[in-house]
A and B are shown apart, each in its own frame.
Chain A
Amino acid sequence: MNLLLGQILNGIATGMLYALMGLGLSLITGILNIPNFAHGALFAIGAYLLVTTVGLIGNFWLALLIAPLGVAALGLLIEYAGIRRLYAAGHDYQLLFTFGLALILSEGIIVVWGPVGFSHLPPPILRGGVDLGFTFYPKYRLFVMVVAGLLVLATWLFLEKTRYGAIMRAGIENKEMVSLLGIDIHRLFTAAFALGAYLAGIAGALTAPIRGINPNMGVDMLGIAFVVVALGGLGNLLGAIAAGLLIGVAQAVVAAYWTEASTAVIFAVMALVLLVRPQGMFGIR
């Protein structure tokens, strides 16, 4: 029983990171109507920027604030200088653009930071673990669970409860209608893309001390992020959060009893849900 409780806790911690990735990807997918293949690379850049910033200023907490903002700025640039020019060109061009961008960013990581991966330790205060009674659990993972949870909540509240969030959701639903209301749709999309990139960046930064840093880390995470978006429903933000948690917990619980299937279960859950609800758990299209 203790093992099961421990695995569920672990699943929630991992699921929060998946939700963070899924939420960002869902936001961008909602805008573009196509998957953003560069999302994994943005995740990896978040991790690399964190380590570089820690190296420069020697402060993890400040680096955790700065690194994702750097990724958001990169997202802003990508949308402003690239994707914006392709809105009229159709989905095929956008798809090719994000695919090409993913390759360029991945190779860029190797050029800047080298091909060999490395580890980065959490700050001293978050090293080691705590005895929760039913399991001994790393402090840093608990920290990640709380921070990721708060970020997911804050993003959801922003999108659901603020005027600008409502405009953003409206833009996802019907671009033309929002544009006709006199709202600068391009500025809105730039902001949404930057927010999606920020979420990928902070997910990467938070993940760095857990999974380490290597040029392929974005590819590893991108597959899961796509599953989360498809499972939750394309462009559905609440669905992305729920799907992230579901995948994380399913993976952890299956690992307790059948470790060989812990990766396969991600895709099995997706296949099962899509068989019953092809539009995803919360999707309407």
Chain B
Amino acid sequence: MKRREVLKIGAAAAGLGFPAIIRAQPKEIVILGIWPATGAFSDVGPILDRGMRMALEERDMKILGRPVRYIVRDSATQAGAATRRVEEAVDGEGAKFVIGPWSSGVALAVSEVAKRKKVFHYFSGGTEDISGARCHRYSFQWAASPYTAAKTVVDNFMKANPKARRWHLLVADYAFGWSVEKYIKEVGKTHGIEFVGADRHPLGEREFSNYVQKAAANRPDAVAMINFGLDAVSGAREIFNFGLTPKVPLIMTWSSGVEELVQLTPEIRENIWVGSNFYYTADTPVAKKFVAAYNAKFGNPPGYAPSAAYGMTRMMLHAFDKAKSSEVRDVIAALEGIEVEDLVGRMRVDAKTHQTLRPYFFMRCKPKAKMANPLDFAAIIATGDTPLPAEYAACKDLGGF
């Protein structure tokens, strides 16, 4: 028998004998979650994974009838490690859709990989560069713009505390901190706020006494922290230890909500005001369903981290539905300009910047006597969704594919 005949028989057998198998195993869609399992934010990595997995499981791990293979890689909160692992997942595993990581600085590096490898990328964090100066066609931002956050926090705080015009800022010294600080100062000007101090601290700082003592020396009416995770927890604790709170209000401008507040005692939380991209009492059908499912599964309400992972994945899935295609370009084009009722309410993706336009939450922590249960940390007192004014927009051209 000649080689050509063998091939013909093989092809016929494949077509006639095994069509059921071929139909049962359509090509899978590989989705990568790049989350921190080690290093800074390693405490958040597992819960980010939970949120993303829950969104995919809602669809029975299927997109457009095709199976989803969800893979997770450790970002280690290091640009080098994260970019290398994303590249490996794209080249080796065939991942075309990437969500994460959790640090703005690392996300900017991953965004460059997404651009070079031409894969879909969704991120949630405080840097404005993803949808600003370093915007491009492949990356999207889920978190509210730092301007939206600053405007919501400053406007509503000043509404409740009109006399608190001397502010001291404690800022995490990386991309996220700089972005939010810029707009806190911009919005602050409109309220006549005087910034009596603005100290920057490194990511992962644990000894806040030196910063707090300096803040106390400035005798501010309010202290605003622009930091995240354990940095924010350590800062809030030390501000209480030095006797600033509860006399002086503390604003956690960009908080993870539950994950941070649970680490503080009710005494420390007194007179703390919190801005966040999500709080579990958000009054939307999707949030209620998600919170109930998360609570049932893990025994506690979700904070910003799992909610962001869940929310980003849902937005991406909406784009798949709209595109009716699993091609990266089609999904991106579908997500551009999409408008849906989702996790935090009305959500729209700005087609010109890839910024998700959505509400930002502002809460006030409850005193111990008013807490209905140990996890009843705060009450939402306002939401804001003012988008970044055009004059501040740094994303001039997303470019092509």
Contact = CB atoms under 8 A, between A and B. Distances in A.
Given A2-B217, A119-B268, A211-B206, A259 B241 contact: no
B314 interface: no
A128 B243 contact: yes
Contacts of A140: 241
Contacts, number: 108
A3 interface: yes
Interface residues of A, number: 42
B262 interface: yes
Contact of B211 (A2, A141, A209, A255): A255
A256 B237 CA distance: 20
B197 to A, nearest CB: 10
Given A128-B243, A141-B209, A256 B265 contact: no
Interface residues of B, number: 34
A262 interface: yes
A256 B210 contact: yes
A260 B241 contact: no
A135 B237 CA distance: 19
Interface in A231-251: 251
A141 B241 contact: yes
Interface stretch (A19-27, A96-104, A110-118, A164-172): A110-118
Nearest to A140: B241
Interface in B174-199: 199
Given A128-B243, A259-B214, A260-B200, A118 B209 contact: no
A251 B207 contact: yes
Contact of A138 (B42, B242, B262): B242
Contacts of B60: none
Contacts of B234: 211-212
A7 B202 contact: no
Given A117-B263, A259-B201, A260-B200, A10 B230 contact: no
Interface of A: 2-3, 6-7, 10-11, 13-14, 115-122, 128-129, 135-138, 140-141, 209-212, 214-217, 220, 251-252, 255-256, 259-260, 262-264
Interface of B: 42-43, 46, 173, 199-202, 204-207, 209-211, 213-214, 216-217, 230, 233-234, 237-238, 241-243, 259, 262-265, 267-268
